[in-house]
């Protein structure tokens, strides 16, 4: 019995190993979903490690905790928080899509539609969830002289002496 690849020999040779950016590998929605699911999963695992480490260090003293909370309100952490939210949304919704495809008997023709629908849902939820994340600027910058809870006293309301 002779093995016949489902593609021509030149196609099999050029697509055998994905090359770096600009290579000849043809990305499909399935391979895109696979790679993005793995990347977001690893990113969430790395975040979990750093989150546990920072919480452990912050519990050493009240000043360390106040400093950590103030640092997490800085703009660069806000961008990281948005990226974390996007990764959580994509990874979770793609996991639900995978469960649906595996157990609901969905035909292979609807995989692409499900992936792009899940992508639109992820984008919409990201926009809705980003609004309160971005608007939550409730502390002073880290360069301020005092830490919250220490000697910082908020300004008196207008009209109060």
Sign of the CA dihedral 18, 19, 20, 23? negative
pLDDT tens digits in sequence order for the chain, 161 residues long:
444 444 555 555 555 445 555 556 667 788 888 899 999 999 999 999 999 998 888 888 888 888 888 888 777 888 888 999 999 999 999 999 988 888 887 777 788 888 999 999 999 999 999 888 877 765 555 555 555 554 545 555 666 55
Q: Give dist(CA 46, CA 33) in Å, integer.
A: 20
Task: List the CATH number of the domain containing 73.
Answer: 1.20.1300.10
Number of domains making up the chain: 1
User: Is residue 144, in this structure, part of any structural domain at all?
Assistant: no
pTM beyond 0.75, yes or no: no
């Amino acid at each position: 019995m002779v093995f016949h690849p489902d593609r021509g020999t030149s196609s099999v040779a050029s697509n055998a190993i994905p090359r770096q950016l600009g290579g000849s590998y043809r990305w499909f929605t399935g391979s895109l979903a696979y790679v993005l699911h793995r990347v977001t999963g690893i990113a969430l695992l790395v975040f979990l490690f750093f989150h546990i480490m920072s919480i452990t260090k912050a519990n050493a003293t009240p000043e360390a905790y106040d400093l950590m909370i103030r640092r997490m309100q800085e703009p660069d952490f806000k961008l990281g928080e948005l990226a974390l939210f996007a990764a959580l949304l994509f990874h979770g919704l793609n996991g639900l899509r995978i469960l649906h495809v595996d157990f609901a008997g969905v035909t292979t023709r609807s995989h692409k539609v499900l992936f792009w629908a899940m992508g639109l849902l992820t984008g919409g939820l990201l926009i809705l969830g980003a609004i309160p994340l971005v608007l939550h600027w409730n502390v002073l910058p880290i360069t301020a002289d005092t830490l919250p809870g220490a000697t910082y006293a908020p300004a008196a309301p207008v009209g109060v002496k």
